[in-house]
Chains A and B, each alone.
Chain A
Amino acid sequence: MKLLYPRAATASALLVAGVSMLSVGASAQMMPTTSAPPVTHTTDFGPACSAVPKAGAGSFSGMTKAPVATAASHNPVLSTLVAAVEKAGLADTLNTAKGLTVFAPDNAAFAALPKAALQSLLANKAALTKLLEYHVVAGRLSPAMVVGVHKTIEGETISVAGSGASFNVNGTAQVVCGNVQTGNATVYIVNSVLNPAA
């Protein structure tokens, strides 16, 4: 067996390698020549990701990937945030910006705020806009780039720490589901509302 099997195996391996090389060559030749970079293979991570629908309502018929505010509106754990975004009139702005990173507080994060504070926040458009803009960073941050200090759209900075599948923002808010890809933004769902004054 020592003598015999390897030879036949070598023949087979050569065959497989040869045909595979041909196939790769053939594919490369038939590949479309578009300039778009290949999509990265990263996926989302975190304990709460199972609650995040992989496909939004209507996505069965989607031609293009939904932009961030539209995608969030399909996600039941972000309904309070979506309401706040609409109240502030930020939905189109978020949807049409060229590339963003959004730290999205889930419903539990808003529920943890004192009721009166939440009500007055939702009633004050300027303060609400400022708060929501504090959750948005220009450019798409991958998990490899997210750690560090980032200037938000609001103007103040946030600080992200952690590694692997465990990250926190400003030392308090935990990322419960990170690296969610939408049409124009990368989303990190956090379990607490970020406060620029903190």
Chain B
Amino acid sequence: MKARSATAAAIATGGVSLAAFLGTAEVVAVATGPASQPEVALGRVVIARTPEWLKNFAISNFGENDKLVLNISVYAALIVLAGLAGALAGRTRTWAALGALTALGTVTAVAAATGPSASAWQSLPSVAGAIAGAAVFVSASARGGRAGRAGVGADSGPGGSPTLPRRQFLKKAGSLFALSAGAYAVGRGALARAYNAAASRAAVRLPRAVRSTPRVAGTGFEVEGLSPYITPNKDFYRVDTALVVPQLSTDGYILALHGMVERPAIFTFDDLLHMPLVEAPITMVCVSDPVGGPYVGNARWLGVPLAHLLGLVGPRPGADQLFMTSADGMTIGADLRAAMDGRPALLAVGMNGEPLPFEHGFPVRAVIPGFYGYASACKWLVDLEVTTYEAKKAYWVQRGYAQKGAVRLESRIDTPAPFAQLRAGPVTVAGSAWHPTVGIRKVQVSADGGPWHEAALADVESVDTWRLWRWEWEATPGSHSLQVRAVGNDGQVQTAAGAPVFPAGATGRQSLVVSVT
């Protein structure tokens, strides 16, 4: 009984120390930024160390709540460890608790200071937290020990030290805890106000482009169900591995450009905005887009030409890869030559006239026409390294995807929908076709395996975008299949040979079954 109550008090002491650790760290983090919060640093380490299958499991089972589950797990683990450390330490082995606090402080300090775009200062909250935790433990455990003995009614402990009622221990532990929780709440509130990335995004004023691809009329068709030429930001597809959409602020944003270059450099967000910006429409495609699939979109991107930026640092001969890293650790390797060959390969800061949405990489992402996103379009970009394909393998390349990832010539039927029930008579068949950097010369449609009919083509602003098309079909009753193919400006005819998404992007011609009555 005696051991039991002493243990309970020791566990509580461990918990109060943890609260002091977190509360103090939170207050200090107001000065050093949200990424320096020890629990956030710890969460990032957990995400980085989580195997792929477990991540997939979490995403498919917890969906949008995966982050919540992660946070609760981190806090639960901390609480259990604090209790264990407290119990182990008891009142005689204070070194055990101090050791545990030092270990926690060290791990979180290192994690915070070595994260992407981190500095040594970011270890400060963890260090301060560990010191406060230790102080609280030492202060509370002396009384806690006495409280334990007092709990069984002894009037004095071994050595005759004076006793204090357990109530006093609870009071002390309780007030220390309340103080810590209060500090935590105040710190968190201040952090939320000081580091609101939404405010940072709202404050961005995008400069005018020095060069803009001229707008043209007639890029779309008034056909129900057909995509517009420019995809609105809210409808733009999103495929990434980010468990949490990174919320980077433009304050303190630093982009490093280094590796095989003559003059390595770092750029702030303002540096980028003061460079000559170009606006260009570019169709982006995800390698995971199946034939006829939804992972394609077209937007007007405003950004610094990568050629300009690379020209400032001077790539060395022999380099062939531009290796990009996002704030959440994603790596994407792009073809260095393509980034400098005159196509509008951009470090984008704007999308369809507004700063990048958070989901699409605020504050800076890359967009390079002609390559699937996994091999060109790094979001939340914080690091650019000029290197070789030989030296470094990007995330999806490590997982077997093709090294360069050039987008394939493809076409898609937007309307009618698959399995549509149609009335006999004239039916508009319409969709899009793309081969970024090459452009589309012709789109053809066939009904029930019959002859190919020329579709009418909309205008385009550049060869880097998709091209919308329409064809009028005289539908007769029965079940029918429609098929589409495109011909590129280079004369290439879209292949009928089907290839799966993995490893280099899907090929084949979309066919669609509809029924007409």
Residues of A within 8 A of B (CB): 1, 4-5, 7-9, 11-12, 14-16, 18-20, 22-32, 34, 36-39, 41, 58, 60-67, 70, 88-90, 92-98, 126, 129-130, 133, 136, 138, 153, 155
A129 B479 Cβ-Cβ under 8 A: yes
B19 A93 Cβ-Cβ under 8 A: no
A23 B72 Cβ-Cβ under 8 A: yes
B239 A4 Cβ-Cβ under 8 A: no
B359 A63 Cβ-Cβ under 8 A: no
| B421 nearest CB across to chain A (Å) | 9
For the complex of A and B, the 9 pairs showing the least CB-CB separation, nearest first, are A8-B8, A39-B63, A23-B75, A97-B418, A96-B292, A27-B71, A32-B245, A58-B502, A15-B15
A19 B63 Cβ-Cβ under 8 A: no
User: Which residues of B lie under 8 Å from residue A22 when comparing CB positions?
Assistant: 75, 181, 184-185, 188
The complex places the Cα of A12 from the Cα of B79 at a distance, in Å, of 10
The complex places the Cα of A185 from the Cα of B468 at a distance, in Å, of 28
Which of B60, B64, B287 meets A63, CB within 8 Å? B287
The contact sample of 16 A-B pairs, CB cut-off 8 A, is: A4-B1, A12-B8, A19-B19, A22-B181, A24-B71, A25-B188, A30-B67, A31-B244, A32-B358, A34-B359, A39-B62, A61-B399, A65-B60, A89-B481, A93-B511, A95-B292
User: Which residues of A lie under 8 Å from residue B92 when comparing CB positions?
Assistant: none
B75 A19 Cβ-Cβ under 8 A: yes
Which of B291, B396, B399 meets A92, CB within 8 Å? B291
B511 A61 Cβ-Cβ under 8 A: no
CB 8 Å contact bits of B494-517 with A (1 = contact, 0 = none): 000000111100001011110100
A63 B374 Cβ-Cβ under 8 A: yes
A1 B12 Cβ-Cβ under 8 A: no
Contacts known (A27-B68, A31-B67, A93-B513); A16 close to B79, Cβ less than 8 A:
yes
Q: Is B326 an interface residue (CB 8 A)?
A: no
User: Which residues of A lie under 8 Å from residue B400 when comparing CB positions?
Assistant: 60-61
A98 B290 Cβ-Cβ under 8 A: no
Q: Is B295 an interface residue (CB 8 A)?
A: yes
B11 A12 Cβ-Cβ under 8 A: yes
Which of A28, A90, A126 has the most chain B CB atoms inside 10 A of its CB? A90
A39 B513 Cβ-Cβ under 8 A: no
Contacts known (A27-B67, A64-B288); A9 close to B399, Cβ less than 8 A:
no
Closest to A88 in B: B513
Contacts known (A58-B500, A92-B292, A133-B419); A5 close to B8, Cβ less than 8 A:
yes
User: Which residues of A lie under 8 Å from residue B502 when comparing CB positions?
Assistant: 58, 61-62
Which of A5, A92, A136 meets B5, CB within 8 Å? A5
B18 A19 Cβ-Cβ under 8 A: yes
Which of B12, B61, B292, B358 meets A8, CB within 8 Å? B12
A64 B239 Cβ-Cβ under 8 A: yes
B244 A30 Cβ-Cβ under 8 A: yes
Closest to A29 in B: B192
Closest to A94 in B: B418
B83 A12 Cβ-Cβ under 8 A: yes
The complex places the Cα of A161 from the Cα of B82 at a distance, in Å, of 53
| A59 nearest CB across to chain B (Å) | 8
Which of B52, B151, B244, B286 meets A64, CB within 8 Å? B286
User: Which residues of B lie under 8 Å from residue A18 when comparing CB positions?
Assistant: 19, 177, 181
Which of B9, B60, B64 has the most chain A CB atoms inside 10 A of its CB? B64
A39 B419 Cβ-Cβ under 8 A: no
Which of B19, B67, B68, B152 meets A4, CB within 8 Å? B152
User: Which residues of B lie under 8 Å from residue A1 when comparing CB positions?
Assistant: 1, 4
User: Which residues of B lie under 8 Å from residue A19 when comparing CB positions?
Assistant: 15, 18-19, 22, 75, 78-79, 181
| A179 nearest CB across to chain B (Å) | 13
Closest to A152 in B: B419
A32 B244 Cβ-Cβ under 8 A: yes
Contacts known (A36-B64, A96-B418); A15 close to B481, Cβ less than 8 A:
no
The complex places the Cα of A9 from the Cα of B83 at a distance, in Å, of 12
Q: Is B268 an interface residue (CB 8 A)?
A: no
User: Which residues of A lie under 8 Å from residue B188 when comparing CB positions?
Assistant: 22, 25-26, 29
The complex places the Cα of A26 from the Cα of B291 at a distance, in Å, of 42
The complex places the Cα of A65 from the Cα of B293 at a distance, in Å, of 12
| A2 nearest CB across to chain B (Å) | 10
User: Which residues of A lie under 8 Å from residue B478 when comparing CB positions?
Assistant: 126
Q: Is B173 an interface residue (CB 8 A)?
A: yes
The complex places the Cα of A98 from the Cα of B358 at a distance, in Å, of 26
